[in-house]
A and B are shown apart, each in its own frame.
Chain A
Amino acid sequence: MPLFFDVYVQDPLVAAESPEYGFETIEVFYDPQLGDGPTSARFAVVDYNAATGEVGRPAVWDEEKQAFKKGRRVLDRNYADNIQFHQVNVWATLQRALEYYEDFKALGRRIPWGFEGNRLIVVPHAGYGKNAYYDRQSKSLQFYYYLPAQEASAQGEAQLVFTCLSADIIHHEFGHAILDGIRPYYIESHALQTAAFHEFMGDFTAVMLLLRNNDFRNKLADEVGANLGEAEKLFAIAEQFGQTVTGRPYLRAAKNELSMDELPADFNPHLASEIMTGTMFEVLIYLANQYRQNRGASAANALWYTIDRMQRTAIQPLDLLPPVDVSFRDYALAVLRMEELRNPKDPYNYYQTMLEVFIRRKILNEQDREALLNSPRYLLDRLELYKAYRVESFSKSKAATYRFLHLNREQLFIPRNRDLTVADVYISDKLMRQGLRFPRHAVIQYIWREEVLLEGNQFGELEGSYMSMLCGGTLVLDMAGNVLSWMRKAGTQLGDEMHLQSWYRQSDETDPDQHLSEDELAWRTELEQGVARRQAFLQQMAALIQQGKISLADARGGLLAHRQAPLVLRREGGAFRPELQPHFHLSETHQLSQNGKRTWEISF
């Protein structure tokens, strides 16, 4: 029994300019516990306003009418100016977005949040400012409002912009919350691409969900006909926001030709994310044109097939990603692997097409092409383990999974002397094309920590401190025990116990490899990757300190947007852990961040 609510398709500005894209009535699953606020199983809307220090009255649930009300009025599009409508708008939009991710065509499972508890607090009018963000610490999505500069001097009543009414902004921030739920250790990173991946998730979620809207899609099809690539509306993310804040038609363009050559040298996740967003958008456009031109679908159908397929193409691979330190390359490999598993015969050559896009954008390289396309390999493998296993038994709990991992540390490249954590284990049921079932599978994420000493004056104030470096892997097994995917982030402490002494002994000989067994060679490769990771970890840290992008965590109040460094360090035990901060500047452009003063910087 679905429930129905009116929400903005995009935002009030688009609604005013193009009423046909104004409101839509969306469907969300019935929740018998639905209550005032709105409050549902996974969201609690709290209209606390920091600017006034007061709480807006919550929308009231009328079980009989199956509607949210204020007094006697049902909060539909006729009451869009009402702050209680804002509450319902943001809640319903989020509710649908969560359902989109939990769908069998997407992750096919319930998704937890990245914090303790199951309700994400949603604050529709948190205060005044050009901001909206996801904040794990307060378990909240916060939406602010502001007055565009041109409105202040305009005649008549000044029109505020409410970020809680912008579907793009809601979806973008929700993308952060979802990614934090499925990969909670990404926030503990100081790698540019990991932070950028968070931004990509935000922007791409906005694009995908906009295209889910039937009215929008069908009208768009009418307008653009064959060539989807020219539909301006699709390229715009946060349209209203972009127009009023930056004076540009959109905040971040999805259509671009950026490659990894354009990866910024400084810590600018927004700019870096455009590479990944542009890449996946190119895949989307390819699919649409392919359905339209090669397979003869009408424009409307082509768009629907595209968006339906993109849900599987872009979202299902998230389950394969490593638990820490994700890179664009990891995601590209995950997208390809999932494609290969779902579609091994690939009659329309999607695999190679996507591979070529990734290579052209320099996310993957020629060696990858060789390895993925031309080297002989099998679709599925089994792990060669010391201890036999049954996926069904050990995947039932984290403790049982730990036991399985522990007994096979050597074969799984997990150092003996590190404490190991099972970050998450779950079973997923996904769908393939035409509702076909993908083999049921277990996703196991495990991590361990290594402490890295910051030596040298390039670390400024932090010289002599220890930083915690996360290592780990995500192992995806079908119920028969076949490896569907295994993505790892290696550590450096394998050498001690992996019997590599023979390799070290022989390393001055011309061909030391001849003394190594196949296992030892694999360990050595893993170890080399770990050493390279540590090196990159230290280089990134030094660069961030020198760029003034890091501050130490202060638990006290008084949060100021531009005094907040993009990364803070939190001391846990004896070592620092980095923590990505919410980006407090929706409007911040690369230019602005370059010109801004950095008063929170660690003096260097």
Chain B
Amino acid sequence: MGDQFLIRMYNVGVGDCIYLRIPDGGQHVHVLIDCGTIGSIKLLKAALADIKEQLPPVEGEPQNKRLDLLVATHRHRDHIKGFDPEFFEGIRIGHIWMSAVMNPDHPQASRSLQLHQGVSQAMRSLEASGQALSPEMQLLASMYSIGNDGAVEALRSTLPAANQIQPRYVVAGQTGQQLGLHLQDTQIKVLGPEENIDFYYLGDETAADFVGLSVFDRYFKPKALKLEHYQPHNISISELKMLQNRILSDPLGFAEKDSSIQNNSSVVLLFEWRGRRLLFVADAEWEGEFAEGKHNGAWNVMWQLHRDELSQPLDFLKIGHHGSFNATPWRPDKPASNEVNQILDAVLPLPAVGESPGAAAIVSTLRTNVYKPIPSAQLLAELGRRVHSTRNYAQALAALPDFDLLTDLPLPAYEQAFLHQPQPLRTDLEMLLTGDTFVEVAIDPAN
């Protein structure tokens, strides 16, 4: 075990909290990638308590534990909620890396940041208005809750100050070495986000839309009537309410764009370790095919600019965005020649007949009835064909005493069908099976 690259993914509901232990130069390097959930903070506290157990004491400070690197991939709650200074008391952090888009002064993200700020305000007032939203929209709105500000503040200043370090806002092309993390056997390469965030992920159209909103405000607003003081005379109150429900929501539309930009600006790290290649993609999305000036997906941008890093098969993939369809490049409705399918075939090729897959992959996920697209059962079944760290959950769960697949899992029949196919190890079902609060994969060195 001591000579293996260990990846431990905690069951934090919908969220990421990933601990890495990397044998390097005769000792271990300890890394935490994200610590968030849309669920209860208790899950994060428990995960952090376990992580603390794993960390070694700081030399000369036996009361403190050493964490060499903390990565906050992007600013969504399900990735950063746990970055509360209180939880990190007694942990000395060596380096803090986060996405360049979390730097309020990043010059090439000025328009994206402006959009984010506008959206945050709009979403908070939407939340405050108490308007009934669909579960999907509620989730989107919750990504902008005020609580998030505290975590961002902790990452930018409180935690760095406590550890007397400078946080680094990372961009593609940098290496661990350049970012000050000097390792012997491990090369860390940043594959995303690109420095020019506005250019690659925002897209001209979204930028124009944002300007357009304010242009109209200038000549509509001055003499417009506020609904609090004025009821249109020619329709009833209930007709107006129905109209409001059936008008496209600008705040939500922009929030969705912004949310996607945040996902696409995730820190993507490729670890090259003793002949192995391990990729951590956070919530990077894919979107059609790459084009300049478009709102591009991070996978497409990486394929365009860092293809040499992705054209070889991986030994490990952290499955993105909790198993959502939009974060693993795969389009079953398109031929293999499609850009998106090319990417998946390059990083996780289907094994030849009679051979087993070479790579491992795990996913932090929680299937709820609130937000159905996470995870995509169809996608996980496909990935189950391409990696070896899998389980046939239908069989495994059937072996549990008093467990009935049909009644004990809140899944419709079509989704249960996919449980009969091997799926990558997933935090939610592993918890059911083993009671473990995490899923773990250990990678042997190739040389």
Task: Give A residues with C-beta under 8 Å from B.
Answer: 35-37, 39, 44-46, 48-58, 83, 119, 121, 123, 125-129, 131, 135, 137-140, 142, 144-149, 151-153, 157-158, 160, 457, 460-461, 463-464, 547, 554-561, 563, 584, 595-597, 599, 601, 603-604
* Interchain CB contact under 8 A, B373 and A50: no
Q: List 25 A-B contacts (CB under 8 A).
A: A46-B235, A51-B213, A52-B221, A54-B220, A55-B225, A57-B225, A119-B235, A125-B220, A126-B248, A129-B253, A138-B245, A139-B239, A145-B216, A147-B208, A149-B205, A461-B413, A463-B413, A559-B249, A560-B253, A561-B253, A595-B289, A597-B287, A599-B326, A601-B373, A603-B325
Cβ-neighbour of A55 out of B227, B246, B325, B378 (below 8 A): B227
* Interchain CB contact under 8 A, A599 and B373: yes
- A48 and B230 CA atoms in complex are apart in Å by 11
- A547 and B331 CA atoms in complex are apart in Å by 12
- A390 and B55 CA atoms in complex are apart in Å by 93
Q: Which residue of B lies closest to A464 (CB)?
A: B413
- A364 and B325 CA atoms in complex are apart in Å by 42
Q: Which residue of A lies closest to B221 (CB)?
A: A52
> Contacts A49-B220, A123-B247: A557 and B227 contacting too (C-beta < 8 A)?
no
| Interface SS majority for chain A | loop
Residues of A within 8 A of B429 (CB): none
- A557 and B250 CA atoms in complex are apart in Å by 12
* Interchain CB contact under 8 A, B227 and A128: no
Cβ-neighbour of B248 out of A58, A125, A127 (below 8 A): A127
> Contacts A140-B243, A160-B215: A556 and B133 contacting too (C-beta < 8 A)?
yes
Residues of B within 8 A of A127 (CB): 247-250
- A559 and B253 CA atoms in complex are apart in Å by 8
Q: Determine if B207 is an interface residue (Cβ-Cβ < 8 Å).
A: yes
Within 8 A of A (CB), among B189-222: 204-205, 207-209, 211-213, 215-217, 219-221
A160 to chain B, nearest CB (A): 6
Q: Determine if B137 is an interface residue (Cβ-Cβ < 8 Å).
A: yes
Residues of A within 8 A of B287 (CB): 595, 597
Q: Chain B 252-282, CB within 8 Å of chain A: the 1/0 string?
A: 1100100000000000000000000000000
Q: Determine if B104 is an interface residue (Cβ-Cβ < 8 Å).
A: no
Residues of A within 8 A of B205 (CB): 149
A603 to chain B, nearest CB (A): 6
Residue of A123, A152, A601 with most chain B CB atoms under a 10 A cut-off: A152
* Interchain CB contact under 8 A, B244 and A557: yes
Cβ-neighbour of B414 out of A142, A463, A596 (below 8 A): A463
* Interchain CB contact under 8 A, B412 and A461: yes
Residues of B within 8 A of A55 (CB): 224-227, 230, 232
* Interchain CB contact under 8 A, B234 and A37: yes
Residues of A within 8 A of B221 (CB): 52, 54
Q: Chain B 37-74, CB within 8 Å of chain A: the 1/0 string?
A: 00000000000000000000000000000000000000
The 5 A-B residue pairs with the shortest CB-CB distance, nearest first, are A147-B212, A595-B288, A558-B137, A152-B208, A138-B246
- A135 and B246 CA atoms in complex are apart in Å by 8
Total interface residues in chain B, CB < 8 Å:
60
- A125 and B414 CA atoms in complex are apart in Å by 43
A123 to chain B, nearest CB (A): 7
Q: Determine if B182 is an interface residue (Cβ-Cβ < 8 Å).
A: no
Q: Determine if B136 is an interface residue (Cβ-Cβ < 8 Å).
A: yes
Q: Determine if B240 is an interface residue (Cβ-Cβ < 8 Å).
A: yes
* Interchain CB contact under 8 A, B239 and A125: no
Residues of B within 8 A of A599 (CB): 325-326, 373
Residues of B within 8 A of A556 (CB): 132-134, 137, 245
- A391 and B79 CA atoms in complex are apart in Å by 71
Q: Which residue of B lies closest to A558 (CB)?
A: B137
* Interchain CB contact under 8 A, A597 and B249: no
- A52 and B217 CA atoms in complex are apart in Å by 7
Residues of A within 8 A of B256 (CB): 560, 563
* Interchain CB contact under 8 A, A554 and B134: yes
Identify 9 new A-B residue pairs, CB closer than 8 A, beyond the known A54-B224, A138-B246: A49-B220, A52-B216, A56-B220, A128-B250, A138-B243, A149-B208, A152-B204, A160-B216, A557-B134
B228 to chain A, nearest CB (A): 10
Residues of B within 8 A of A126 (CB): 247-248
- A215 and B364 CA atoms in complex are apart in Å by 66
Residues of A within 8 A of B337 (CB): none
Residues of A within 8 A of B252 (CB): 558-560
Residues of A within 8 A of B376 (CB): 603
Residues of A within 8 A of B325 (CB): 597, 599, 601, 603
* Interchain CB contact under 8 A, B288 and A83: no
* Interchain CB contact under 8 A, B233 and A36: yes
> Contacts A37-B234, A50-B249, A55-B230: A128 and B243 contacting too (C-beta < 8 A)?
no
Q: Determine if B131 is an interface residue (Cβ-Cβ < 8 Å).
A: yes
* Interchain CB contact under 8 A, A46 and B245: no
* Interchain CB contact under 8 A, A559 and B246: yes
> Contacts A139-B239, A556-B134, A558-B137: A603 and B377 contacting too (C-beta < 8 A)?
yes
B154 to chain A, nearest CB (A): 31
Residue of B132, B246, B412 with most chain A CB atoms under a 10 A cut-off: B246
Q: Determine if B432 is an interface residue (Cβ-Cβ < 8 Å).
A: no
Within 8 A of A (CB), among B368-400: 372-373, 376-378
Residues of A within 8 A of B373 (CB): 599, 601, 603
B241 to chain A, nearest CB (A): 9
> Contacts A461-B412, A463-B414, A556-B134: A158 and B211 contacting too (C-beta < 8 A)?
yes
Residues of A within 8 A of B224 (CB): 49, 52, 54-57
* Interchain CB contact under 8 A, A149 and B245: no
A465 to chain B, nearest CB (A): 11
Q: Determine if B242 is an interface residue (Cβ-Cβ < 8 Å).
A: yes
Q: Chain B 403-420, CB within 8 Å of chain A: the 1/0 string?
A: 000000000111101000
Residues of B within 8 A of A557 (CB): 131-134, 137, 244-245, 249
* Interchain CB contact under 8 A, A39 and B244: no
Residues of A within 8 A of B209 (CB): 128-129, 146-147
- A44 and B326 CA atoms in complex are apart in Å by 42
* Interchain CB contact under 8 A, B220 and A152: no
Within 8 A of A (CB), among B99-154: 131-134, 136-137
B320 to chain A, nearest CB (A): 14
Residues of B within 8 A of A53 (CB): 226-227
- A123 and B232 CA atoms in complex are apart in Å by 12
B46 to chain A, nearest CB (A): 30
Residues of B within 8 A of A128 (CB): 209, 212-213, 216, 250
* Interchain CB contact under 8 A, A50 and B244: yes
* Interchain CB contact under 8 A, B414 and A563: no
* Interchain CB contact under 8 A, B215 and A147: yes
Residues of B within 8 A of A603 (CB): 325, 372-373, 376-378, 414-415
* Interchain CB contact under 8 A, B227 and A39: no
Cβ-neighbour of B232 out of A48, A140, A560 (below 8 A): A48
- A560 and B138 CA atoms in complex are apart in Å by 13
Residues of A within 8 A of B246 (CB): 135, 137-138, 140, 142, 559
